[in-house]
Amino acid sequence: METLAKALAELERAAEPGIGEGMARFGIATADRVIGIKVGTIRGIAKGLGRDQTLAEQLWDAGVYEARLLACFVGEARQLTAAGMDRWAAGFDNWATCDTACFDLFDKSPLAWDAVHRWADDEREFVRRAAFALLAGLALHAKKLPDTPFLEALPLIEAAADDPRNFVKKGVSWALRAIGMRNPALHAAASELAERFAASPAPAARWIGRDAARDLARPAARRKAGLG
């Protein structure tokens, strides 16, 4: 616990006036306690600590927003367990903690795909968002994966597309757009699904479809997908 105490003390020393108050405007100041630190500063602290899953678990349990972000940066993906990932997911109470865990730690775990499928129909808003934030992370970071798992994930996206909750629908759109940027075949599959959503009578699906279709049609997205 000595390392935990030192890490928390380092976070306290890094506090900056006004940062914590500004978080409320972005819907992320919902943890038990917010110190008020820039994410880049937290990443710098993490580099000094190195990878340490035991410390990550202790930081997660500390009940401090920045400590949970630090946990995501020092966690060891190969030491994650399904139960541990579920425990963290159950504690997600804002989009920033959810997305950081998925994008900076969980998507590097060999258990990531199982978590996507396990969380995709969860009724809790941020757990369901986590499925799609994690799927987006895999699409953007796992460059060597074949198309098959992403094509198999499209039905998960379709099943969640009528969820009207803000953070879920934004996560679903993010996942669809990220898949579509991998290569021409996935771009075509994601674009076709986005166009179908855009014509849906369900407001959430229609929003997702328009948001994803607009982004996938951008020249930068087409270039990233290898479409010139």
- Please report the domains of the chain, with CATH numbers, ordered by start residue: 1-75 (no CATH), 95-228 (1.25.10.10)
Alpha carbon distance 34, 28 (integer Å): 9
Cα-Cα-Cα-Cα dihedral sign, residues 102, 107, 108, 111: positive
**Beta carbons within 8 Å of 169's beta carbon, 6+ residues apart:** 161, 163, 204, 207, 208
pLDDT in tens, 155-207: 999 999 999 999 999 999 999 999 999 999 999 999 999 999 999 999 999 99
pLDDT in tens, 83-119: 999 999 999 999 999 999 999 999 999 999 999 999 9
* Confidence check: pLDDT of 31 > 60: no
pLDDT band at 30 (very low <50, low <70, confident <90, very high): low
Q: Counting beta carbons within 10 angstroms of the beta carbon of residue 40, is it exposed (0 to 12), middle (13 to 18) or buried (19 or more)?
A: exposed
**Beta carbons within 8 Å of 114's beta carbon, 6+ residues apart:** 82
* Confidence check: pLDDT of 29 > 70: no
105 neighbors 92 (Cβ within 8 angstroms) = no
Alpha carbon distance 111, 39 (integer Å): 26
Least confident of 1-5, 122-126, 212-216: 1-5
Question: In the structure encoding, which two tokens stand for residue 149, read together?
Answer: 């798992």
* Confidence check: pLDDT of 70 > 80: yes
Predicted pLDDT of residue 2:
74
Mean pLDDT of the chain: 94
